[in-house]
Amino acid sequence: MRLRCGARETDCRLVIADKDGTLVDFRSVWVPVVQARARFIVEEAAVDRGLEPALLRAFGYDPDDGRVDPRGPLAIAPRTETTVIGATLLYRAGLAWEDAMAAVRRAYRRADEAVDPIRVGRAVPGVEAALRRLRAAGARLAVVTTDTTVQAERGLAALGWADLFEAVVGADGVTLPKPHPEAVERLCRTVGVPAGETVVIGDALADVLMGKGAGVALTVGVLTGVTTAAEFRDHADVIVDSLADIGPAAGAGTRP
């Protein structure tokens, strides 16, 4: 099919989208999650509550102005990496390493129970209609995310999107996380479409670099997440306000 992305058009068969910040509102899910994790880490480790703001900043969230660092852990790091960040701060606060890791793991489990991403997550406005237009025009759709595969599939199903995506790859499904191209390469093999006929769409620079590394036809940065147009400018092939602005080119028609 012929895909329209802003002022650019390209032929593609597969569209790979990031999840949080691209399909799902990033802040509705991950700000409550990171706040819960920091709070429970302090409680599980029985350390001074003054460590909580430091934990939040180490995760890439500023509790003073609410800013998420677009190249920080909260935006792009998988769970296995952020647990090490929390444990490192506890170690520096005086805990033995094994005690620090155990406290962080307990805290993460508590956060999982306290904040259900399925319940708090909201779809980015206009995205569902855009996805269904792409499917109707013959595009195949897949998701790559730093969330776990099962959690991502649950979230997409809760939004009523289980029928839209042929494959989902989470951070637990690859050896090397974003921005390494492994996830895109795996999805292309799974779906049976070469990278040269694939478009990657995401709200983080890591998504764009992942697509570039895989040699996809086009990388698209969207502004519905944590990254600004200025931060995308020297990296993404195209920058659009939202995935909702992407669709079949005029005259692309629908698949039979």
pLDDT of the chain along its 256 residues, tens only? 999 998 899 999 999 999 999 999 999 889 999 999 999 999 999 999 999 999 999 999 999 999 999 999 999 999 999 999 999 999 999 999 999 999 999 999 999 999 987 777 899 999 999 999 999 999 999 999 998 999 899 899 989 998 999 999 999 999 998 999 999 999 999 999 999 999 999 999 999 999 999 999 999 999 999 999 999 999 999 999 999 999 999 865 544 4
Please state, in angstroms and rounded to a whole number, the distance separating the CA atoms of residues 61 and 54. Answer: 10
Q: Determine how β-strand 238-240 pairs with β-strand 218-222.
A: parallel
| The predicted structure's pLDDT at residue 20 | 94
Contacts of 144 (CB under 8 A, 6+ apart): 16, 17, 18, 19, 168, 169, 178, 183, 184, 187, 200, 207, 210
**CATH numbers and ranges of domains, the chain:** 2-25+122-248 (3.40.50.1000), 27-119 (no CATH)
Contact between 39 and 51 (Cβ < 8 Å): no
Residue 135 structure tokens: 């499917």
| The predicted structure's pLDDT at residue 190 | 95
Please state, in angstroms and rounded to a whole number, the distance separating the CA atoms of residues 108 and 79. Answer: 9
| The predicted structure's pLDDT at residue 68 | 95
